[in-house]
Structures are given as C-alpha cells and as structure tokens.
Structure 1
Amino acid sequence: MLGKTIPVPRLECIYGDAGCDYLYSNSVFLKPLTWTDNLANLRDRITALTGYKFRIVIGNQYRTGTDSIGWHADNEPSMGSNPAIASLSLGGVRKFQIKPRNGKPTDFWLEHGSLLVMHPGCQSTHLHQVPKTNKIVSTRINLTFRPHTGGER
C-alpha cells in the first residue's frame, strides 16, 4: 500500500481557527476554512453544554451505506493529549460502534440531533467506527468538534 492513494470513503471538510491545520493517518491533510456563523454557534452551544473548548470541526457526509470509517482513535498529536471530542449527528440514522482496544463493541444508533461526547481519556482506551451497511440509509452528516494545540488564538 506504500505510495498508493486510497480515496476516503465519505466526503469531508474542516472549519476552524486560522492555522489549525489537521493531518490524520499520516496522509490526509485538511486546512480549515473560516468558521461559519452557524458552525461557530453550534461550537459555542456545545462548549457551554460540555465545558470543553473546540478549535476545529470536521464535517463528514455519509451518502450511502458504503460510506464509512473503520476502527480508529482520534488521537492525532495536533489535538493534544487526552482530547475531548463532541460528535453531532444530522440527517439519517447510522450505527456507531465503540469498543475498548481489546474488547467487544457496543452499538449506538445515532439519530438526527444526537450529541455523542467522548471525554478525555477515551481516545487512549477505546476505538470507534461507523461501519459499512448493506441496508438502505439516508444521508448522514456528522460534525466532530475537536481541540487543537496550534494555530492563531
């Protein structure tokens, strides 16, 4: 696989503070667009609800059941150690799975408007995914609000 480009199996974009570039899997580089008023409002509401501060939001659009993301942890160095992640689901319902690194998964069906918060420490002890499905599903948009250690403040 070395040297091969593999397409991301979903559509994605990033918004955030200036200079908060994001690299994941040592191969996908995202440069944030400026916060929109609506996204900044959501960020502020989620910060007020959770107490966690967020500097970027990654938007993923899962168009069909073949769009997915495999088992992973959101533990990129740019988020600092033990980041809190807030995940807002919009649109169609999809299965979200989380499991201890050496354990069995727990399934959650994330409905429109649901907010899933992965507290500090979760990324070092657990993995999560949105698996593929053969079922007919509606488009889902997921907004993951994340901290960031760089950029302009």
Structure 2
Amino acid sequence: MHLWGEGCDYLYSNSVLLKPLAWTEPLAKLRDKITAATGYSFRIVIGNQYRSGQDSIGWHADKESSMGIEPAIASISLGSARKFQLKPIGGKPTDFWLEHGSLLVMLPGCQTTHVHQVPKTTKFVTTRINLTFRPHVGGKF
C-alpha cells in the first residue's frame, strides 16, 4: 500500500500510518481528470496491489475521520478484472466487475449506508492495481 498526496498523513484502519509521497505527474493528471468528470476534489490517492485471487479485502466502509463527513471516493482499476461487491448495511450485495481502466465512484453518504469488498476468488486472475482517490480535510490523520 502506498500513499500520494499533499503533505497529509493518513491513518488506515486505526492502525497503519501512511506518510504521503509527492504527487507524480501521471497521478496528478489522473486526479485532475477524475475531478473534472465527477466534480469532486481529491487530496490523496492510495495504491493497493492484488497479486492474485487470494488477495482480497473484506466487508468494510471507509470511515476515516480524515476524509471528512460523507466523502466521495473514486477508484480506478488497472490490470486483471475483479469482482467488487457493494451492499446496504444489513442488505444483499450487488456485484460489479471492475475491468482494466474502469472508474468506480462511491458518492457522498455511501460510506454511511453501505459496505463494500473485493472477495477472494479461485478463478485465475493476474495482478490488479487499485488507485483510490480520497478527500482529506487536514494536514494530519
């Protein structure tokens, strides 16, 4: 997991403190394109690598206080397609297949009413990189 941003530390899951790297030109251009397409501003991006179908992340909501109240979160998928599931809290999941180059936007309020995951799979998949663009309301977590 890597973090790029504007001088703002990020505390992930109340246990992992990430210090940001400087924005690279390609990431800054991608951020600006996503902002233009969605109307939402993003100060940080987190990069995660899923090496195989056994790399996953379970049901969760992104509720870190550093993102502010009801943030919009934008996610770009690169590489192998993977299933992404989103469900209302206590409800049934909806499956989305995130293909290479796809943009998924979770709108303000989604992190309060829904949870999401990338489940494990026994299907053969190659590496997937996920870039998650997020707001950040302060200089620290």
Instruction: Tell me the TM-score normalized by structure 1.
Output: 0.89
The residue that corresponds to 1:141 in the other structure is: 129
Counterpart of 2:3?
A: 14
Cα distance in 1 between the residues matched to 2:128 and 2:137: 29
SS of the counterpart of 2:55?
coil
Amino acid of the residue matched to residue 142 of structure 1? N
Match of 1:65 in 2: 53
Tell me the residue number matched to 1:121.
109
Superposition misfits of 4+ residues, deviation over 4 angstroms: none
In structure 2, what is the Cα distance between the partners aligned to 1:113 and 1:58?
A: 16
SS in 1 for 2:74: strand
- SS of the equivalent of 1:65 reads coil
Counterpart of 2:63?
Answer: 75
- Indicate the RMSD between aligned Cα atoms, in angstroms: 1.0
Q: Which amino acid aligns with 2:5?
A: G
Find the counterpart in structure 2 of residue 91 from structure 1: 79
**Structure 1: distance between partners of 2:13 and 2:4:** 19
Displacement, 1:136?
Answer: 0.9
- SS class of match (1:135): coil
Tell me the secondary structure at the aligned position of residue 34 of structure 1. coil
Does 1:112 pair with 2:94?
Answer: no
Q: Which amino acid aligns with 2:106?
A: M
Give the fraction of aligned pairs with identical amino acids, expressed as a percent: 76
| In structure 1, distance between residues paired with 2:18 and 2:139 | 13
Partner residue, 1:33: 21
How many aligned residue pairs are there?
A: 140
Please give the secondary structure, in 1, of the residue aligned with 2:26.
helix
Deviation at 1:151, TM superposition (A): 2.0
Unaligned runs of 5+ in 1: 1-11
What amino acid is aligned across from residue 65 of structure 1 in structure 2? G
Q: TM-score scaled to structure 2, two decimals?
A: 0.97
SS in 1 for 2:95: strand
Counterpart amino acid of residue 80 in structure 2: G
Query: Which residue of 13, 23, 27 maps to 2:11?
Result: 23
- Work out the CA distance in 1 between the residues paired with 2:139 and 2:14: 19
